[in-house]
């Protein structure tokens, strides 16, 4: 991933020159300087390419002057409509056009600081690659971009706008790395270990194993885990950015924390209710909710957010074996409620219910948001364009909807209700873990809601359709998206800081 710097405008001596151009913009600065130096070749090239600066447009001019190997024009659309978010998409589109250069300079003299920083963020996010396990890729095929210099007359304002974005990008990359790792490498024990280094950001990290979980009565989570050869883990992450200090300093928190809970099934075979073989490899992504919570906590700590936040993830592997739980088993959850496990493939809710109960008992949070790749049914309902949102609180739901739009992580509110809840009725226990095919995502949410304390604002995000993408997105290559890191960071920034 390239390093980003903000510099005074000066014609680059090598590499690429990037020109973000608005539809109604007049050539100035480096743009005008290059046109002059090339004897008007740039204007002629843009004219010949019918480049008008519209959103999504781009044009490349090769080696117009000594030293500069390419000039890349990127359309920004109408300047009056240009936002930081629009600039992100333009930055993302730019990346592929300069990826084979070692250095690129972005002529951002005409852009306001948040827009210039947004352009850089889009470019950086799009440059993500997970290539740990490639050993034979040819040098020529690899991206080369090492340095992006953003040329601006407002370097200080840009750097201030950039600092938090850089921390957020780091959080996104942490989440994408975790989600991309193969399931033989990233099992529950390893995933918990990978949280440890985040202590250097000022997070307090606790890791609980099966012994502690048995003591806490986590019968539902442990039931899911019992077929696996790898032990389960729960990781509790704390960021005390509002009260100052860390949880370890034992300073009394000034406010109730906000809480984020993630489903971390490092591989979901379905268990004894085993899944079909085709596409089962995708179930390495079933820990994306947990990956997002970890990335989010890193982002909040990295940008020193003025909030007290806790992040908890339940990490298990759902395997079939001689020790696996059976359909028909009854388990006792940490809350005391009992569950008849009808389908061992509806395991995410069994993990979440114990972790969520624990989070409320211990932290009494202001609100709780859980993230989970919970149901295939949400993909049928919403496709890959929105995460499903379920909430018992209109204010929180409204805040989440608003936070998602500008960062390109949209959520769509789904209903909850008594009638759906009835579908969970069991003949032998307090509830079944499945409610049948009708409204499968809703009954899953109803199940989880049974573990939310009365009066506690809560939202559940079913991210099964958005946690990874089979096609390139504006600011992410195909694969793990880290959906939720930016949305929840934005939620905190907009409403829960200070
Ligand atoms: N992890 C899956 C949900 C999932 C499916 C995520 C496809 C991404 C893509 C979850 O644990 C699961 O298996 N859910 C079942 C629930 C059913 C048994 C009630 C499902 O959606 O089929
Ligand atoms: Mn499952
Ligand atoms: Zn699952």
pLDDT in tens, 314-332: 999 999 999 999 999 999 9
Tell me the residues surrounding ligand 2 (ion) with CB < 5 Å: 268, 345, 347
d(CA 109, CA 86): 17
Ligand 1: lining residues by beta carbon, under 6 Å = 268, 286, 343, 345-348, 373-377, 434, 440, 464
Structure confidence at residue 456 as a pLDDT band (50, 70, 90): very high
Active-site hit among 275, 304, 306, 413: 275
**Which pair of tokens denotes residue 393?**
């609180």
For the four alpha carbons of 46, 49, 55 and 56, in that order, the dihedral sign comes to negative
**What is the four-CA torsion angle of 259, 377, 469, 1, rounded to 10 degrees?**
10
Atom of ligand 1 nearest to the CA of 347: 11
Domains 3-157 and 167-495 in one fold: no
Atom of ligand 1 nearest to the CA of 343: 18
Angle of helix 485-495 versus helix 288-302 axis, rounded to 10: 40
Boundaries of every domain in the chain: 3-157, 167-495
Cα(475) to ligand 3 centroid in Å equals: 26
pTM of the complete model:
0.97
Cα(344) to ligand 2 centroid in Å equals: 7
Question: CA–CA distance from 104 to each of 19, 97, 460, 474 (Å)?
Answer: 11, 10, 41, 19
d(CA 451, CA 393): 15
d(CA 246, CA 363): 15
- Choose between 85 and 283: higher pLDDT: 283
Cα(347) to ligand 2 centroid in Å equals: 5
Sorted by sequence, the CB contacts under 8 Å of residue 157 that are 6+ apart come out as 113
Sorted by sequence, the CB contacts under 8 Å of residue 61 that are 6+ apart come out as 41, 42, 45, 46, 70, 71, 72, 73
159 is catalytic: no
Backbone angles phi, psi at 5, to 5 degrees: -135, 150
Atom of ligand 1 nearest to the CA of 433: 19
Active-site hit among 349, 432, 486, 490: 349
**pLDDT for position 25:** 85
d(CA 1, CA 27): 30
**pLDDT for position 141:** 92
Sorted by sequence, the CB contacts under 8 Å of residue 185 that are 6+ apart come out as none
Q: Please compute the mean of the pLDDT values over residues 46-54 and round it to a whole number.
A: 97
Sorted by sequence, the CB contacts under 8 Å of residue 347 that are 6+ apart come out as 224, 265, 268, 271, 316, 318
Percent of the chain with pLDDT over 90: 96
Kindly identify the ligand whose nearest atom is closest to the C-alpha of 263: 3
**pLDDT for position 38:** 96
Structure confidence at residue 429 as a pLDDT band (50, 70, 90): very high
Kindly identify the ligand whose nearest atom is closest to the C-alpha of 269: 2
Question: CA–CA distance from 239 to each of 80, 209, 253, 355 (Å)?
Answer: 38, 21, 10, 18
Cα(202) to ligand 2 centroid in Å equals: 34
**pLDDT for position 251:** 62
Q: Please compute the mean of the pLDDT values over residues 375-392 and round it to a whole number.
A: 98
Question: Ligand 1, residues 271, 376, 381, 444: which to mutate, most atoms within 8 A of Cβ?
Answer: 376
Asked if residue 126 lies in contact with residue 477, where contact means CB atoms within 8 angstroms, the answer is yes
pLDDT tens for 342-354 read: 999 999 999 999 9
Sorted by sequence, the CB contacts under 8 Å of residue 51 that are 6+ apart come out as 21, 57, 58, 59, 73, 75
Ramachandran quadrant class, 431 (left: phi over 0; alpha: psi -120 to 50; beta: rest)? beta
Atom of ligand 1 nearest to the CA of 444: 19
The DSSP bridge pattern shows strands 68-77 and 58-62 to be antiparallel
d(CA 229, CA 113): 52
Nearest to 313 by CA among 355, 268, 357: 355
Asked if residue 117 lies in contact with residue 162, where contact means CB atoms within 8 angstroms, the answer is yes
Class of the CATH-defined domain 3-157: alpha beta
Cα(130) to ligand 3 centroid in Å equals: 23
Sorted by sequence, the CB contacts under 8 Å of residue 73 that are 6+ apart come out as 19, 21, 46, 51, 53, 57, 58, 59, 60, 61
d(CA 440, CA 450): 16
Specify the CATH number for 167-495; select among 3.40.630.10, 3.40.50.1980, 3.40.640.10, 3.40.50.2020: 3.40.630.10
Report the chain's C-alpha Rg in angstroms.
24
Question: Ligand 1, residues 345, 350, 441: which to mutate, most atoms within 8 A of Cβ?
Answer: 345
54 is catalytic: no
Residue owning tokens 């590499």:
15
Q: Please compute the mean of the pLDDT values over residues 50-62 and round it to a whole number.
A: 96
Question: Ligand 1, residues 270, 281, 373, 375: which to mutate, most atoms within 8 A of Cβ?
Answer: 375
pLDDT tens for 192-241 read: 999 999 999 999 999 999 999 999 999 999 999 999 999 999 999 999 99
Q: Which protein residue has the closest C-alpha to ligand 1 atom 3?
A: 375
Backbone angles phi, psi at 479, to 5 degrees: 115, -150
**pLDDT for position 243:** 87
In eight-state DSSP terms, residue 414 is: -
Is the pLDDT assigned to residue 250 strictly greater than 60?
Answer: no
Asked if residue 201 lies in contact with residue 301, where contact means CB atoms within 8 angstroms, the answer is yes
Instruction: List the beta bridge partners of residue 302.
Output: none
pLDDT tens for 293-321 read: 999 999 999 999 999 999 999 999 999 99
Structure confidence at residue 246 as a pLDDT band (50, 70, 90): low
Structure confidence at residue 247 as a pLDDT band (50, 70, 90): low
Atom of ligand 1 nearest to the CA of 373: 6
Is 177 in a helix, a strand, or coil? helix
Cα(150) to ligand 2 centroid in Å equals: 45
**pLDDT for position 245:** 63
Vertex 264: Cα angle to 335 and 340 (nearest 5): 40
Kindly identify the ligand whose nearest atom is closest to the C-alpha of 270: 2
**pLDDT for position 493:** 98
**pLDDT for position 498:** 82
d(CA 265, CA 368): 20
**pLDDT for position 84:** 87
Kindly identify the ligand whose nearest atom is closest to the C-alpha of 343: 1
């Amino acid at each position: 991933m390239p390093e980003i710097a903000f510099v005074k405008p000066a014609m680059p001596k090598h590499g690429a020159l990037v020109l973000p151009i608005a539809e109604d913009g007049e050539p100035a600065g480096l743009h005008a300087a290059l046109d002059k130096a090339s004897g008007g070749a740039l204007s002629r090239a843009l004219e010949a390419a019918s480049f008008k600066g519209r959103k999504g447009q781009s044009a490349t001019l090769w080696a117009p002057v000594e030293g500069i190997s390419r000039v890349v024009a990127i359309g920004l659309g109408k300047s009056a409509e240009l936002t930081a978010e629009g600039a992100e998409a333009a930055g993302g589109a730019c990346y592929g056009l300069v990826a084979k250069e070692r250095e690129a300079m972005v002529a951002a003299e005409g852009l306001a600081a948040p827009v210039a920083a947004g352009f850089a963020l889009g470019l950086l996010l799009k440059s993500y690659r997970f290539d740990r396990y490639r050993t034979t890729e040819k040098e020529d095929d690899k991206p080369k971009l090492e340095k992006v210099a953003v040329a601006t007359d407002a370097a200080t304002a840009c750097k201030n706008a950039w600092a938090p974005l850089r921390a957020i990008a780091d959080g996104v990359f942490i989440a994408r790395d975790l989600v991309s790792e193969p399931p033989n490498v990233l099992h529950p024990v390893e995933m918990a270990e990978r949280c440890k280094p985040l202590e250097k950001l000022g997070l307090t990290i606790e890791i609980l194993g099966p012994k502690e979980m048995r003591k806490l009565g986590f019968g539902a989570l442990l039931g899911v885990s019992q077929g696996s050869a790898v032990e389960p883990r729960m990781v509790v992450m704390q960021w005390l950015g509002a009260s100052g200090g860390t949880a370890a300093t034992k300073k009394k928190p000034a406010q109730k924390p906000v809480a984020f809970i993630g489903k971390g099934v490092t591989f979901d075979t379905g268990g004894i209710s085993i899944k079909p073989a085709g596409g089962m490899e995708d179930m390495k992504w079933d820990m994306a909710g947990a990956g997002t919570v970890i990335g989010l906590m890193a982002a909040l700590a990295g940008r020193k957010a003025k909030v007290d936040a806790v992040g908890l993830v339940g990490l298990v592997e759902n395997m079939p074996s001689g020790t696996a739980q059976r359909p028909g088993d009854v388990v006792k959850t940490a809350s005391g409620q009992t569950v008849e496990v009808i389908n061992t493939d509806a395991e995410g809710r069994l993990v979440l219910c114990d972790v969520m109960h624990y989070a409320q008992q211990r932290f009494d949070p202001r609100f709780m948001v859980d993230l989970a790749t919970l149901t295939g049914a949400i993909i049928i309902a919403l496709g890959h364009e929105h995460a499903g949102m379920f909430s018992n609180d209109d204010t929180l739901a409204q805040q989440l909807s608003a936070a998602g739009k500008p960062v390109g992580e949209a959520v769509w509110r789904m209903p909850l209700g008594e009638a759906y809840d009835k579908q969970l009725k069991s003949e032998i226990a307090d509830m079944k873990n499945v409610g049948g095919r009708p409204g499968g995502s809703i009954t899953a949410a109803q199940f989880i809601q049974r573990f939310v304390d009365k009066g506690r604002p809560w939202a559940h995000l079913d991210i099964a359709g958005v946690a990874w993408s089979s096609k390139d997105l504006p600011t992410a290559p195909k694969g793990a998206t880290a959906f939720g890191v930016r949305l929840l960071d934005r939620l905190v920034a907009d409403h829960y800081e200070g």
